[in-house]
Amino acid sequence: MSALTAQETVYGSSDDGKYVTYRAGGKPGKRLIRQPGEPGWVESFDRIPVIDFTNIDHPDVDVRRKLAAELAEAAENVGFWYAANTPVTDELVSATFAALEKFFSMPVEQRAEASWMKTPGARGYESFADVAANEGSGTLRESFIMGDDMTDPKQYSGPIPEGTKPQNIWPSAMPEFKDALDTYYSVLLPFARSILHLFALALGLEENALDHLHNFPMAALRALHYPPQVATESAAGFLAHADFSSFTLVLQGAKYGSGLEVLNMNGHWIPAPYIPGVTFTCNVGDYLQSLSSGRFVSTVHRVVNTSGNERYSLPFFFSPDPSVTLTPVVNPKTGSDYEAEYTDDPIGKQYVRRLMYARRFHPTAKRLAELEIPEKDWKYEYITGSQMIVARCSDVFGRRTALFKILLIFILGNIMCGFAQNAIWLFTCRGLSGIGAGGIISLSMVCVADLVPVRERGKLQGYTGFTVALGSGMGPLIGAAMASKISWRWAFWITPPMLALAIPILYLALPDINTAPGKSAWNQMRQVDYLGSILLFASSILMLVPISGGGSIFPWRSAVCMILIVLGVLLLVAFLAVERFHAAIPILPPRLFHHKDVNLILLATATHGWIYYGTMFFIPLYLQEVLTVSALRAGVLLLPMVFSQGLGLGLAGKVSTATGFIVPQMQFGYALGLVSCGLLYRFDVDTSTGYIVGILLLIGFAAGCTLQTSLVTMQNTAPEDLRAVITGARNTFRSFGGSIGLAAAGPIRSSVIRTALMQISSLTEQQRSAIIALGPSAIIGDVDSNTRSLMLQAMKKGIQAIYLGFMPLMAVSLIAVLFVNVVQQGRSAEVKQTYYGVLMAALKEQIGLDEADLIVSVTANTREDWSFGGGKAQFLNGDL
């Protein structure tokens, strides 16, 4: 054995002998310790080769190939090598280490200010205590990580994709620390790219064969400080591990203690100390091992600083783009038994998972434990044409059957959501429960229309509307409380028991209204407009996915976004054609749009949906970002709006039952809505809570006046057989307006905020990006009071821009409903009773008719049911 053989630390033993345990690819492994001549002894390295990198960018490719061959040999047989004569100068090394020493000698509060706990990607300072808590009490090191960050102008100057968040965090007490690490990083990145070219050559590929996997590679620097320590079984600076990178370049310093050791195949630790005149100690990481089908080995290593001196080191990790899915770029060597575990997960996701593996108390780790779904994606909603489809199905199958089925779908969807183990599972089941929820809302409104006389509808639809409003106001609060106190799963599981209770009640109380009685199940099935349903569903998904994901999941101007929208529009056209020319019972019969009043109200409903959902979404944002109240308080402050909406719904309905008029309440509601939009626009950075609550009460009341009055007006205007259709359409138009509005508002707001922030000269570009990505709270503690108030003004302008847009939209709604002709609502039950009494008394008195012989039947007709001569329906022609 060579003189370089290290002392062995025995971590465990088996029947066969002693072995070393380690972690590679995040998974535990163990390696038997074998002595020369023992069974199982293999040819393995006992020293680490030194490679001269002088020619790395040599103009002659053959020279570069020679270097690549040397690298290939080291990467295959050892997985480690020393790099001499690199672009890193001695001056750069000294300056960088000086910065490290200074950083780690600052008071701990100043280091902790840049805590890794504050960043989603765990960048920043990780203290001794943090490391020990995560990896065991014997682990003795502290570190500071920085890395790739598109929002940092020092690294990147192109357009920043929307939704990109700042990654790094810096100590304000030592601004030059950022400068030093930035400078070092900017030298290492191009060097790493040259090494990547060498690796491509080393694999026998074209020099730039791996470049397309590294457009904006994941790269990071980890500044490390290891105090001297005594080696014991579990004590180390860094326990045995393999790196999750493509390759790592570790800078070691001459004056520091050593302790880096590399595990060979026989279980012996080979030291890899600083060597004079050599810049880096380098190694292959797991990603390159996978890409190369195991030809290059990601070798296990560890650090135990028993030198008696402080040790500082600075690894640079280089990995592919986060979006890359690892697939081998070459075949495994013949005879190799290497089996990589390739997954479909993009490497960025794997990286975060691995990073968080041993950091269970980091906020990101907690979130990962909750299904690995980023918070913003939780808002993903499925608002599709499903309400129209479900409503139409109730015409075909009967209301009660349809309602029970849709209740079951919702219950099933929610229960399954609660059991979700991954994102796809959750999104699919959330889709199911979304269809169920929309269906329940529409069908209960249709049932009310079926069961209740025209005159009473306003009042009873008011009640259904109120329950919907109450649910949407309380639901998020209860859901959030469930998620934080028990588990997010209970946010899904809380509703199924309530609905399970509703089923028997409905079964007993709800008459079985069947609009197509006597048809066999088979005949009913055949009547469903399947083609229309599929086209409507597909087109709304195709359009709504980019609308809700644009700017966050993928950039607005990306090809994906464009293609989805164009396909969605094409399918929508196909849907309309099917409805017009093909379907026997179309989901959206074209004759629905033959009614001027229905068209006007649907238009008002869509624009109002835009404003309504916009208010629900942006008021809490205004409260949080401009008035800096907590998320919970913002949610609670929305409640008055929900209750006044209930009041508006109830009152408008009662007035319609009492007077027989319903359209004036709706028109009043839209007028009040326009006024409240104006008042909303005046919200400022110092608006009092009382004023806000007052305006919210007004907004809610106005919305309450419009919501069910418009539904009932349409239900009373359109032909009876379109009752379900109109209800589904109303709800779909409203949600569709809402989703388009929210999608439009996001980018407008960000661009207004960005422009306003540009004018605040006391902010750095990085701070501006941080504010846009994370909100002002991300940096609010770091700025003076003047900057702070300018910043809040900027946030206010962003929200105001959206409210400004609300005014003309609300005006459109108002003008539309002002053109709605007043429709008679029928007389109240009391009036009818009185009428029967008077009629009876008169007939008895004048012609002596016995009351038992008289039947009086009042039939409510809609406008097309009348003709006053000439065989024409003058009501419809407007001739009357």
Question: Does 315 participate in binding ligand AKG (rule CB under 6 A)?
Answer: yes
* Nearest-angstrom CA–CA distance, 270 and 258: 12
Structural tokens at position 197: 């070219």
Nearest to 351 by CA among 364, 339, 338, 340: 364
Question: Does 67 participate in binding ligand AKG (rule CB under 6 A)?
Answer: no
Tell the smallest beta-carbon distance from residue 222 to ligand AKG (Å).
5
The answer to whether 615 and 799 have CB atoms below 8 angstroms apart is: no
- For residues 284 and 641, which CB has a smaller minimum distance to ligand AKG in the complex? 284
> At a CB cut-off of 8 Å and minimum separation 6, what does 531 contact?
578, 582, 583
Question: Does 753 participate in binding ligand AKG (rule CB under 6 A)?
Answer: no
DSSP per residue over 546-573, as a string? HHHHBTTTB-TTSHHHHHHHHHHHHHHH
- How far out from the chain centre does Cα 214 lie? 25
The answer to whether 605 and 733 have CB atoms below 8 angstroms apart is: yes
The answer to whether 86 and 280 have CB atoms below 8 angstroms apart is: yes
- For residues 250 and 752, which CB has a smaller minimum distance to ligand AKG in the complex? 250
> At a CB cut-off of 8 Å and minimum separation 6, what does 339 contact?
294
Measured from each CB, the residue nearest to ligand AKG is 313
> At a CB cut-off of 8 Å and minimum separation 6, what does 298 contact?
24, 25, 79, 242, 243, 283, 284, 285, 286, 288, 289
How many Cβ atoms sit within 10 Å of the Cβ of residue 674?
20
Tell the smallest beta-carbon distance from residue 230 to ligand AKG (Å).
18
The correct pick among 114, 140, 188, 303 for binding ligand AKG (CB under 6 A) is 303
- For residues 315 and 568, which CB has a smaller minimum distance to ligand AKG in the complex? 315
The answer to whether 20 and 287 have CB atoms below 8 angstroms apart is: no
The correct pick among 111, 123, 301, 796 for binding ligand AKG (CB under 6 A) is 301
Tell the smallest beta-carbon distance from residue 273 to ligand AKG (Å).
10
Nearest to 621 by CA among 774, 767, 787: 774
- For residues 230 and 631, which CB has a smaller minimum distance to ligand AKG in the complex? 230
> At a CB cut-off of 8 Å and minimum separation 6, what does 497 contact?
none
In the chain, the N- to C-terminal Cα span, in Å, equals 111
* Nearest-angstrom CA–CA distance, 138 and 231: 9
Tell the smallest beta-carbon distance from residue 571 to Fe ion (Å).
51
Look at residue 431 and give the partner it binds from ligand AKG, Fe ion, none, a contact being a CB closer than 5 to 8 Å depending on partner kind: none
Tell the smallest beta-carbon distance from residue 232 to ligand AKG (Å).
19
User: Looking only at Cα atoms, what is the longest distance across the chain?
Assistant: 130
Site string for ligand AKG, 222-261 (x = CB under 6 A): x-x-------------x----x------x---------x-
Question: Does 145 participate in binding ligand AKG (rule CB under 6 A)?
Answer: no
- For residues 224 and 553, which CB has a smaller minimum distance to ligand AKG in the complex? 224
- For residues 21 and 828, which CB has a smaller minimum distance to Fe ion in the complex? 21
Tell the smallest beta-carbon distance from residue 97 to ligand AKG (Å).
13
- For residues 252 and 624, which CB has a smaller minimum distance to Fe ion in the complex? 252
Tell the smallest beta-carbon distance from residue 126 to ligand AKG (Å).
11
- For residues 222 and 400, which CB has a smaller minimum distance to ligand AKG in the complex? 222
Residues 258-287 that bind ligand AKG (CB under 6 A): 260
Look at residue 296 and give the partner it binds from ligand AKG, Fe ion, none, a contact being a CB closer than 5 to 8 Å depending on partner kind: none
Tell the smallest beta-carbon distance from residue 191 to ligand AKG (Å).
18
Tell the smallest beta-carbon distance from residue 366 to ligand AKG (Å).
24
* Nearest-angstrom CA–CA distance, 799 and 779: 19
- How far out from the chain centre does Cα 63 lie? 49
> Backbone phi, then psi, for 28, in 5-degree steps?
-70, 145
Question: Does 313 participate in binding ligand AKG (rule CB under 6 A)?
Answer: yes
- For residues 130 and 625, which CB has a smaller minimum distance to Fe ion in the complex? 130
- For residues 113 and 243, which CB has a smaller minimum distance to Fe ion in the complex? 243
Look at residue 303 and give the partner it binds from Fe ion, ligand AKG, none, a contact being a CB closer than 5 to 8 Å depending on partner kind: ligand AKG
> Backbone phi, then psi, for 701, in 5-degree steps?
-65, -45
What are the residues facing 225 on neighbouring strands? 142, 312
Tell the smallest beta-carbon distance from residue 14 to ligand AKG (Å).
26
Tell the smallest beta-carbon distance from residue 252 to ligand AKG (Å).
6
- For residues 301 and 455, which CB has a smaller minimum distance to ligand AKG in the complex? 301
Question: Does 135 participate in binding ligand AKG (rule CB under 6 A)?
Answer: no
- For residues 119 and 248, which CB has a smaller minimum distance to ligand AKG in the complex? 248
- For residues 301 and 595, which CB has a smaller minimum distance to ligand AKG in the complex? 301
Using the structure block, give the residue that is written with the tokens 């293999």: 42
Structural tokens at position 629: 């109240």
* Nearest-angstrom CA–CA distance, 314 and 226: 11
Tell the smallest beta-carbon distance from residue 263 to Fe ion (Å).
12
Measured from each CB, the residue nearest to Fe ion is 243
Locate all alpha helices (DSSP H) within 61-171, ordered by sequence: 61-77, 90-105, 108-112, 128-135
Look at residue 222 and give the partner it binds from Fe ion, ligand AKG, none, a contact being a CB closer than 5 to 8 Å depending on partner kind: ligand AKG
Look at residue 657 and give the partner it binds from Fe ion, ligand AKG, none, a contact being a CB closer than 5 to 8 Å depending on partner kind: none
Q: How are beta strands 260-263 and 278-284 bridged, if at all?
A: unpaired
Tell the smallest beta-carbon distance from residue 210 to ligand AKG (Å).
22
* Nearest-angstrom CA–CA distance, 197 and 210: 7
Look at residue 461 and give the partner it binds from ligand AKG, Fe ion, none, a contact being a CB closer than 5 to 8 Å depending on partner kind: none
Footprint of Fe ion on this chain (CB under 5 A)?
243
Binding site for ligand AKG (CB under 6 A): 222, 224, 238, 243, 250, 260, 301, 303, 313, 315
